[in-house]
Amino acid sequence: MTKKKSAVLPPHEESSGNVFADLGFSNPDDRMLKANIVAELHRSIKDRGLPQVKAAKLMGISQPDLSHLLRGDFENYSAERLMKMLTVFEQDAEIVV
């Protein structure tokens, strides 16, 4: 029987669970919330097989704006506005404190 060698990991830091905090961004909790909402928007669009033009129209934004949003450029959107976009896809957003 041979012994398995333990993998030696290079020096590293464990994540806090919020990549934006780990990278030193301002307002990391807000950014993480927005990123999670955008990820859910992306899933909803993909699950319905909608082209970006149709999805954008439903959401009340232009197709180029949706493209930017889905690529992570959500700085100009409030979490509330993104949550309203989710309702177009019959998704409810619940805020838990």
Domain boundaries, the chain: 24-88
Q: Three-state SS for 26?
A: coil
Q: Please spell the DSSP secondary structure of 76-88, one letter per residue.
A: TS-HHHHHHHHHH
pLDDT of residue 2: 60
pLDDT category at 12 given cuts 50, 70, 90 is: confident
CA gap 92, 87 in Å, rounded: 6
pLDDT of residue 8: 87
pLDDT greater than 90 at residue 9? no
pLDDT of residue 18: 93
Q: Report the interhelical angle of 28-47 vs 79-88 (nearest 10°).
A: 10
Class of the domain covering 24-88: mainly alpha
pLDDT greater than 70 at residue 4? no
The pLDDT of 13-17, averaged and rounded, is 88
CA gap 78, 70 in Å, rounded: 15
Cβ burial of 85 (10 Å; 0-12, 13-18, 19+) is buried
- Tokens 């129209």 belong to which residue? 57
pTM (2 decimals)? Answer: 0.80
> In whole numbers, what is the pLDDT of the chain averaged over residues?
90
